Amino acid sequence: MSNVIALNALPRRDTLTERLPALIDCFARQRRVTDDVFWLKENAELLNILECTGQQVSSSALDAHAEFYADLPARLAFFPQYYRFLLSIGLDLEDLGLPGSQMEALCANVANQGLPEAELSDLQRAEARRLLARRGSVARPDAGLDDRLRAFINRPATFALPNKKAAYELTHIVFYLSEYGRRDPKLDPEALISLEYVGILAHLDRNLDLLAEVCIALRQAGQVPLPIWEDAVRQGLRAFRVAEAQDTGLSDAYHEYLVCTWAVSSVGHLDRGAAVPAGRCVFTRQAQDGGALRPLSAALMSLGHARSGDWGAMQGSVYAMLNDDAATLLFDTATASENFASFFQGFARASAVHA
């Protein structure tokens, strides 16, 4: 019988600083084994957030990674296909204070092997460039990379439609261009509109994971996210529960938990989040309704030739087709954003009906 503690048995809320030792140990030693690629993904995400938010991590907490860090040269030699995960983890561990200085040589080795040249994605090439630059190494020059990244994010029409892959690529491009908030990414106005459109979609969909990333990206670009968005993320963080669970699957909400914590802590709020118990844990958030995005899409599609991209003309018909919860969420989202009407013009896809 699995040893699962009831979610309501863990009412304590801690700051991120208070949660750090248990959080690091949970991901390093409890959830997965180090040979699992998902172990690499989870730990790279956690350590990256800790490093880029300037967390002070005790040496005793980092000891959970000491053996993995020592074995990095062998792992990188045998698993070069995971070089981005491995470099990210090693660089963050050194920068967080784990004793050692091997990452400069490992970055040079990766650059000399030309591993970034095997990437098909501009996003992955941008990540590789950033990782290598952290220790002064340079991948093969790609003079057009920034231009292609900016061309992608400067097309708001792409982001007026639900497309999670494109949306997450947008936020990560901003992360890399801004060096996670360490420099001005000099985003064009079109890119800021793209971020706003993704934020609108995420808020309508109650997708706190994506909404938190949008808030972080906007902050890193020197912008202030809409208060309604940051309030939703802060309230969402309070709804998380972390429970010890020995024999359950780990397809959980860990990433949403981490990103919401990141978004809240990055603006200086006291991020009273769910306490992390010792041992193997799962991350869950209290259930809520499905939001307004699907009902809104269904309503617009059902209108057929009566559909228009004019929000002022359409809003009465749209609200009448939604239930109260969806209508309220749509109203709150629309009234918060000065660019909602232009977003709706693309989202409605009326031109395809009348073509």
Phi first, then psi, for residue 4 (nearest 5°) are -115, 125
Domain edge (last residue) among 142, 172, 188: 142
pLDDT of residue 133: 96
pTM to 2 decimal places = 0.93
The domain in which residue 126 lies consists of 32-142
Encoded tokens for 307 = 């559909």
Distance CA 218, CA 211 (A): 11
13 inside domain:
no
Binning pLDDT at 50, 70 and 90, where does residue 352 land? low
275 inside domain:
no
353 inside domain:
yes
pLDDT tens digits for range 13-24 = 666 777 899 999
Domain edge (last residue) among 121, 142, 163: 142
Q: How far is CA 131 from CA 150, 183, 216, in A?
A: 20, 15, 20
279 inside domain:
no
Phi first, then psi, for residue 285 (nearest 5°) are -130, 145
95 inside domain:
yes
Strand 13-14 to 240-244 pairing: unpaired
112 inside domain:
yes
Q: How many helices (H) and strands (E) does the chain have?
A: 19, 4
In sequence order, which residues have a C-beta less than 8 Å from that of residue 51 and are 6 or more positions away? Answer: 91, 92, 95, 96
Domain edge (last residue) among 142, 165, 193: 142
Q: Is the pLDDT of residue 216 over 90?
A: yes
326 inside domain:
yes
- Span 321-336, average pLDDT: 97
Q: Are 314 and 307 within 8 A, CB to CB?
A: yes
pLDDT tens digits for range 287-315 = 888 899 999 999 999 999 999 999 999 99
Distance CA 24, CA 44 (A): 11
Distance CA 93, CA 76 (A): 16
304 inside domain:
yes
Judged by average pLDDT, the poorest of 6-20, 107-121, 230-244 is 6-20
Which residues partner with 274 through β-bridges? Answer: 13
Distance CA 302, CA 297 (A): 9
Q: In whole numbers, what is the pLDDT of the chain averaged over residues?
A: 91
Q: Could you give the number of structural domains in the chain? A: 2
